[in-house]
């Protein structure tokens, strides 16, 4: 039981991670895949942030009378990772918009059918 | 777009506050939580709110896409420029201590300038992303 | 100035040139800037290689912060070779882009195209030079995001879907890497590679470190397209603009191989990676599967670009199987093949770029009779193809020779057989192209050779294949010192 409760932050991260990963793999809709990818990434962010917590630690801003601070480094790292995540999401959605314009659909199986209909001629 | 007086008045009231808050976050980044990225996103949010309420065409008249493109590039160049200045002053790349005779003042100045670059780029990129998605013709 | 800062400049110059490109009008100016930058970067890389071989490893403290607190850039014999490959291919490929890109990319996106290209270059170089694992993740994402953008610029609408698939795969791979880095940070509290290596030794036998190791290896395996995680690669290389295919095929997977090497040898150390964890067996098995599946798939392809892409999957198998040997000779073979494969795949994809420029496509049909229509292009293709097969007097032979020697040294006879079968299959798929080009009649047999601005870079790489096949002293000595760095010797 202690394994379950003492490290509950890891369980949350793992649950979110698997949810996101499963969504990416199982869904045929491209937007849903991007949503899944976002959940997947967010789980890693939460994992990092929960690493930074120090028992009884204060916000890492220098203040008089405070001895123990939380570790600020993971926050900084994750800020960078969030920026990367935003860029990935924006690029993914931009590609989806272009795919929708080119194919008229954002369902993976319909795109595959359209490609097969084109045959090998357009395989350039 | 149909006239939405409640939205228009509220937005006109809120947008300056959002922008002011963004500037606060921007220029307190060296001492307290804040900095260019957060400030850029908040400032961008103000502009995006304007675009949502008054229409993308109106927003583009205020802040054209071309201007934003230039701003996005200039922000990165400002960041890199600060690095190059410290490099030319004989220090390592991005060693802000080289920016002023007093290393501590140099650090302050360096962080402010770099964060300003980040803020400009992030604001511009956020609004560009909004324009590009919202302004796309329906097919 | 250059002497002190070349490591930072290697990354900063393309990074700052990229927004400058965005400010320039579409047309020839962005290309000129990109060319200048690629050559400057190449000069810096050559300088760096000389420095490392002259005076040993070079370290640069970003912002003057001392490692392990600050970000350290570090160049030793291993990454000097990778930097040289990336910079050299960049310097050859950008001049080629001058004619090829306007023909294949929408004119309104030219400035953006070169901006993304420079970012990709910056990211790949950054991965190679950084000594900080989180910084490595950031550069990996910079180069990946730029590559997705570049691939999506292909004329065919399938380019979009390929770029999207690559984005999903690549992001999962990079996030795996991020999880692994986080677990290592949780155990050691440091991100600097050298510092990590020291501190990991104390906590090595914990489940957390094993988990982190697994995440990092799988993440790197996705990025280097190790079978069965290679599914993104054939589509991406097939539908990207020719220049992008050539650049990415020659550099991106090589840099990912470097990431794998850096983590397994420098950060975790070979006793952990190949002793405590059964990495050797896993890598060897997957690599053999990659060689066989990749080669067989290549034989059945109708589009030559896709054929070469599957061949890349197989060639990555050769590198990985050589890494799995964990001997000095095996690692030399792996790094040597890193170098030689960049030369041959670069030349092959550039030759195909010439074909696409004239014929508008790269399927077998449009190659009919090209032996007479575009003799110089096809001759370059044949030279690089021979190198890919591993015919003596070409660069490909040298790396296969070392690979076979390393396998014999260990008594891994099945690997020797697999290498021979792989080469045989390579001979078959290259022959298919040669047959179509030289022994089928074209509809319109008039001679229409590609312009010299496309031929010159192609032939430069093709001749490099012959030169380094005749005189392999340079790459072999580079590869040998890289191998000794990995095995813990002095560079």
Q: How many domains does chain C have?
A: 1
Asked whether residue A123 carries a pLDDT value surpassing 50, the answer given is: no
Query: Does A61 fall in a domain?
Result: yes
What's the pLDDT score for residue C489? Answer: 55
Q: Which ipTM did the prediction report?
A: 0.91
Residues of B with CB below 8 A from C63's CB? Answer: 92-96
Tell me how many degrees the CA angle C174-C176-C181 measures, rounded to the nearest 5.
95
- Residue from the list C141, C164, C178 with its beta carbon closest to the beta carbon of A99: C164
Q: How many domains does chain B have?
A: 1
Question: For tokens 């104390």, what's the residue?
Answer: C202
Asked whether residue B101 carries a pLDDT value surpassing 80, the answer given is: no
Could you tell me which residues are beta bridge partners of residue C130?
A: C73
Chain B contact probe: residue of C22, C63, C65 with most B CBs at under 10 A: C63
- Cα radius of gyration rounded to whole Å, chain A: 21
Residue in chain A lying closest to B118 (CA) = A83
**pTM of model > 0.90:** yes
Question: For tokens 């198998």, what's the residue?
Answer: C317
Tell me how many degrees the CA angle C346-C351-C357 measures, rounded to the nearest 5.
125
Asked if B33 and A61 come within 8 Å (Cβ–Cβ), the reply is yes
The CATH number of residue A8's host domain is 1.10.287.3510
Q: Residue A80 belongs to what domain range? A: 2-118
Q: Distance (Å) from the C-alpha of residue A84 to the closest C-alpha of chain C?
A: 7
Query: Does B102 fall in a domain?
Result: yes
Which DSSP letter does residue C109 get? G
**Long-range contact set of residues C26-32: C-beta below 8 Å, sequence gap at least 24:** C26/C107, C26/C108, C26/C109, C26/C110, C26/C111, C27/C110, C28/C98, C30/C110, C30/C111, C30/C113, C30/C114, C30/C115, C31/C94, C31/C97, C31/C98, C31/C101, C31/C110, C31/C114
In residues, how long is chain C?
A: 491
Which DSSP letter does residue B99 get? G
Asked if B77 and C16 come within 8 Å (Cβ–Cβ), the reply is yes
Residue in chain A lying closest to C183 (CA) = A48
Chain A contact probe: residue of C157, C237, C360 with most A CBs at under 10 A: C157
- Residue from the list C8, C20, C61 with its beta carbon closest to the beta carbon of B87: C8
Query: Does B139 fall in a domain?
Result: no
What's the pLDDT score for residue B1? Answer: 52
pLDDT along chain C (491 residues), means of 10: 81 91 87 92 91 85 81 88 93 89 83 92 93 92 94 88 92 93 89 87 84 92 88 89 91 92 88 81 91 92 90 92 89 91 92 87 81 86 91 89 90 89 92 88 76 88 89 86 77 38
Query: Does C421 fall in a domain?
Result: yes
What's the pLDDT score for residue C447? Answer: 74
Residues of B with CB below 8 A from A96's CB? Answer: none
Q: Distance (Å) from the C-alpha of residue C85 to the closest C-alpha of chain A?
A: 26
Q: Distance (Å) from the C-alpha of residue A89 to the closest C-alpha of chain B?
A: 11
- Tell me whether residue A92 is exposed, middle or buried, using C-beta atoms within 10 angstroms of its C-beta: 0 to 12, 13 to 18, 19 or more: buried
Q: How far is CA C313 from CA A71, B1, C160, C389, in A?
A: 42, 54, 21, 14
Query: Does C121 fall in a domain?
Result: no
Q: Residue B88 belongs to what domain range? A: 5-134
Question: Cα(B43)–Cα(B25) distance, rounded to whole angstroms?
Answer: 10
Instruction: Evaluate whether C389 touches C427 at the Cβ level (below 8 Å).
Output: yes
Interface of B with C in 4-23 (CB under 8 A): none
Instruction: Evaluate whether C181 touches C137 at the Cβ level (below 8 Å).
Output: yes
The C-alpha torsion from C338 through C344 and C349 to C353, rounded to 10°, is: 140
Neighbours of chain B (3+ CB pairs under 8 A): A, C
Q: How many CB atoms lie under 10 A from the CB of residue C218? A: 18
- Tell me whether residue C423 is exposed, middle or buried, using C-beta atoms within 10 angstroms of its C-beta: 0 to 12, 13 to 18, 19 or more: buried
Q: Distance (Å) from the C-alpha of residue A36 to the closest C-alpha of chain B?
A: 20
Tell me how many degrees the CA angle C379-C384-C386 measures, rounded to the nearest 5.
95
Q: Distance (Å) from the C-alpha of residue B98 to the closest C-alpha of chain C?
A: 10
Q: Distance (Å) from the C-alpha of residue C360 to the closest C-alpha of chain A?
A: 8
- Residue from the list C19, C22, C63 with its beta carbon closest to the beta carbon of B92: C63
Q: Distance (Å) from the C-alpha of residue A3 to the closest C-alpha of chain B?
A: 34
Query: Does A49 fall in a domain?
Result: yes
Query: Does C450 fall in a domain?
Result: yes
Chain C contact probe: residue of A18, A28, A95 with most C CBs at under 10 A: A95
Q: In Å, how far from its chain's centre is CA C181? A: 23
Asked if B32 and A61 come within 8 Å (Cβ–Cβ), the reply is yes
Q: Distance (Å) from the C-alpha of residue A13 to the closest C-alpha of chain B?
A: 24
What's the pLDDT score for residue C410? Answer: 86
Answer whether B135 touches A (CB < 8 Å): no
Query: Does C62 fall in a domain?
Result: no
Per residue in C68-112, pLDDT (tens digit) is: 888 888 888 888 999 999 999 999 999 988 888 888 888 788 888
Residue, of C101 and B71, whose pLDDT is higher: B71
- Residue from the list C141, C148, C172 with its beta carbon closest to the beta carbon of A24: C172
Q: How many domains does chain A have?
A: 1
Question: Cα(C49)–Cα(C41) distance, rounded to whole angstroms?
Answer: 12
Question: Cα(A6)–Cα(C75) distance, rounded to whole angstroms?
Answer: 43
Residues of B with CB below 8 A from C61's CB? Answer: 92
Mean local confidence (pLDDT), A80-94: 92
Answer whether B138 touches A (CB < 8 Å): no
Residues of C with CB below 8 A from B77's CB? Answer: 16, 19-20
Question: Cα(C190)–Cα(B80) distance, rounded to whole angstroms?
Answer: 26
User: What tokens does A118 get?
Assistant: 């084109």
Residue in chain A lying closest to C142 (CA) = A84
Answer whether B90 touches A (CB < 8 Å): no
Query: Does C407 fall in a domain?
Result: yes
Asked if A101 and B139 come within 8 Å (Cβ–Cβ), the reply is yes
For residue C427, whether the previous peptide bond is cis, meaning omega lies within 30 degrees of 0, is no
Question: Cα(C61)–Cα(C63) distance, rounded to whole angstroms?
Answer: 6
Band (B137; pLDDT cuts 50, 70, 90): low
Asked if B133 and A61 come within 8 Å (Cβ–Cβ), the reply is no
Tell me how many degrees the CA angle B121-B123-B129 measures, rounded to the nearest 5.
95
Query: Does B21 fall in a domain?
Result: yes
Q: Distance (Å) from the C-alpha of residue C64 to the closest C-alpha of chain B?
A: 5
Query: Does C263 fall in a domain?
Result: no
Instruction: Evaluate whether C333 touches C403 at the Cβ level (below 8 Å).
Output: yes
Q: How large a percentage of chain B has pLDDT more than 70? A: 93
Q: Residue C300 belongs to what domain range? A: 284-491
The C-alpha torsion from C87 through C88 and C94 to C95, rounded to 10°, is: 150
Query: Does B29 fall in a domain?
Result: yes
Interface of B with A in 34-63 (CB under 8 A): 37
Q: How far is CA C10 from CA C53, C122, C145, C355, in A?
A: 18, 8, 20, 33
Backbone angles phi, psi at A42, to 5 degrees: -60, -35
Asked whether residue B128 carries a pLDDT value surpassing 70, the answer given is: yes
Question: Cα(C400)–Cα(C381) distance, rounded to whole angstroms?
Answer: 20
Query: Does C379 fall in a domain?
Result: yes
Question: Cα(C331)–Cα(C328) distance, rounded to whole angstroms?
Answer: 5
Question: Cα(C90)–Cα(C87) distance, rounded to whole angstroms?
Answer: 5
What's the pLDDT score for residue C226? Answer: 87
Q: How far is CA A77 from CA A49, C185, C256, C273, C467, in A?
A: 9, 11, 22, 26, 45
Answer whether B85 touches C (CB < 8 Å): no
Asked if B77 and C62 come within 8 Å (Cβ–Cβ), the reply is no
C78: enclosing H helix or E strand? helix C77-104
Query: Does C425 fall in a domain?
Result: yes
At residue C369, the 3 state secondary structure works out as coil
- Residue from the list B72, B73, B93 with its beta carbon closest to the beta carbon of C5: B93
Question: For tokens 């990079």, what's the residue?
Answer: C174
Asked if A83 and B37 come within 8 Å (Cβ–Cβ), the reply is yes
Complete DSSP assignment for C234-278: HHHHHHS-HHHHHHHHHHHHHHHHHHHHIIIIIIS-HHIIIIIS-
Question: Cα(A37)–Cα(A42) distance, rounded to whole angstroms?
Answer: 9
**Long-range contact set of residues B53-59: C-beta below 8 Å, sequence gap at least 24:** B53/B4, B53/B7, B53/B8, B53/B11, B54/B1, B54/B8, B54/B11, B55/B1, B56/B130, B56/B131, B56/B134, B56/B135, B59/B127, B59/B131
Asked if A83 and B132 come within 8 Å (Cβ–Cβ), the reply is no
Sign of CA dihedral C31, C35, C36, C40: positive
Query: Does A27 fall in a domain?
Result: yes
Chain A contact probe: residue of B34, B111, B129 with most A CBs at under 10 A: B129
For residue C228, whether the previous peptide bond is cis, meaning omega lies within 30 degrees of 0, is yes
Nearest Cα neighbor of B75 from B30, B32, B44 is: B44
Asked if C22 and B69 come within 8 Å (Cβ–Cβ), the reply is yes
Answer whether A79 touches B (CB < 8 Å): yes
Mean local confidence (pLDDT), A55-73: 79
């Amino acid at each position: 039981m202690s394994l379950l409760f003492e490290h509950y932050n890891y369980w949350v991260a793992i649950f979110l991670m698997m949810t996101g990963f499963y969504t990416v793999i199982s869904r045929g809709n491209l937007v849903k895949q991007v949503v899944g990818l976002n959940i997947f990434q967010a789980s890693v962010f939460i994992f990092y942030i929960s690493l930074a917590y120090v028992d009884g630690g204060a916000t890492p801003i220098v203040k008089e009378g405070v001895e123990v601070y939380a570790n600020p480094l993971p926050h900084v790292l994750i800020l960078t990772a969030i920026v990367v995540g935003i860029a990935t999401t924006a690029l993914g959605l931009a590609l989806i918009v272009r795919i929708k314009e080119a194919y008229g659909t954002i369902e993976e199986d319909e795109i595959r059918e359209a490609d097969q209909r084109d045959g090998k001629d357009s395989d350039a | 777009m149909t006239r939405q007086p409640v939205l228009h008045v509220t937005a006109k009231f809120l947008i300056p506050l959002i922008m002011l808050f963004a500037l606060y976050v921007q220029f307190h980044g060296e001492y307290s939580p804040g900095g260019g990225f957060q400030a850029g996103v908040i400032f961008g949010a103000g502009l995006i709110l304007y675009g949502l309420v008054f229409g993308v065409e109106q927003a583009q008249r205020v802040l054209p896409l071309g201007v934003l493109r230039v701003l996005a590039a200039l922000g990165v160049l400002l960041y890199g420029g600060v690095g190059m200045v410290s490099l030319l002053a004989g220090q390592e790349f991005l060693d802000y201590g080289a920016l002023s005779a007093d290393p501590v003042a140099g650090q302050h100045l360096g962080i402010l300038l770099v964060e300003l670059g980040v803020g400009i780029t992030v604001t511009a990129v956020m609004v560009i992303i909004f324009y590009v998605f919202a302004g796309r013709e329906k097919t | 100035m250059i002497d002190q800062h070349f490591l930072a400049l290697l990354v900063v110059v393309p990074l700052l040139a990229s927004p400058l490109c965005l400010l320039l009008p579409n047309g020839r100016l962005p290309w000129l800037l990109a060319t200048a930058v690629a050559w400057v970067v190449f000069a810096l890389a050559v300088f760096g290689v000389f420095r490392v071989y002259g005076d040993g490893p070079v370290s640069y403290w970003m912002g003057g912060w001392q490692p392990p607190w600050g970000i350290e850039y570090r160049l030793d014999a291993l990454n000097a070779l990778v930097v040289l490959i990336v910079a050299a291919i960049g310097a050859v490929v950008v001049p080629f882009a001058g004619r090829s890109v306007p023909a294949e990319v929408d004119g309104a996106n030219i400035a953006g195209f070169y901006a993304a290209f420079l970012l990709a270059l910056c990211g790949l170089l950054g991965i190679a030079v950084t000594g900080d694992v989180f910084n490595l993740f950031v550069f990996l994402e910079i180069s990946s995001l730029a590559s997705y953008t570049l691939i999506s610029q292909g004329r065919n609408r399938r380019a979009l879907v390929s770029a999207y698939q690559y984005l999903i795969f690549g992001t999962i791979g990079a996030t795996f890497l991020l999880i692994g880095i986080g677990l290592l940070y949780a155990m050691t509290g440091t991100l600097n590679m050298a510092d990590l290596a020291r501190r990991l030794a104390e906590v090595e036998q914990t489940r957390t470190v094993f988990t982190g190791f697994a995440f990092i290896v799988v993440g790197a395996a996705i990025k280097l397209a190790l079978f069965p995680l290679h599914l993104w690669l054939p589509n991406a290389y097939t539908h990207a603009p020719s220049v992008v295919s050539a650049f990415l095929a020659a550099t991106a997977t090589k840099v990912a191989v470097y990431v794998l090497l850096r983590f397994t040898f420098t950060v975790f150390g070979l006793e952990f990676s190949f002793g405590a964890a059964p990495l050797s067996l896993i890598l060897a098995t997957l690599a053999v599967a990659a060689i066989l599946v990749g080669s067989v798939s290549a034989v059945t392809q109708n589009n030559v670009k896709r054929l070469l892409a599957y061949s890349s999957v197989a060639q990555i198998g050769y590198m990985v199987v050589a890494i799995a040997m964990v001997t000095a000779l095996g690692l030399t073979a792996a790094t040597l093949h890193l170098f030689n494969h960049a030369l041959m795949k670069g030349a092959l994809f550039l030759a195909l770029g010439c074909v696409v420029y004239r014929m508008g496509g790269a399927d077998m049909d449009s190659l009919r009779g090209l032996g007479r229509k575009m003799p110089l292009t096809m001759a370059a293709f044949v030279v690089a193809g021979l190198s890919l097969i591993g015919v003596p007097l070409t660069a490909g032979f040298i790396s296969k020779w070392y690979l076979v020697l390393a396998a014999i040294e260990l008594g891994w006879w099945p690997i020797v057989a697999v290498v021979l079968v792989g080469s045989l299959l390579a001979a078959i798929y290259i022959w298919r192209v040669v047959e179509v080009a030289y022994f089928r009649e074209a509809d319109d047999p008039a001679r229409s050779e590609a312009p010299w601005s496309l031929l010159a870079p192609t032939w430069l790489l093709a001749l490099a294949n012959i030169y380094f096949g005749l005189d392999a002293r340079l790459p072999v000595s580079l590869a040998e010192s890289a191998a000794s760095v990995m095995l813990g010797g002095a560079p």
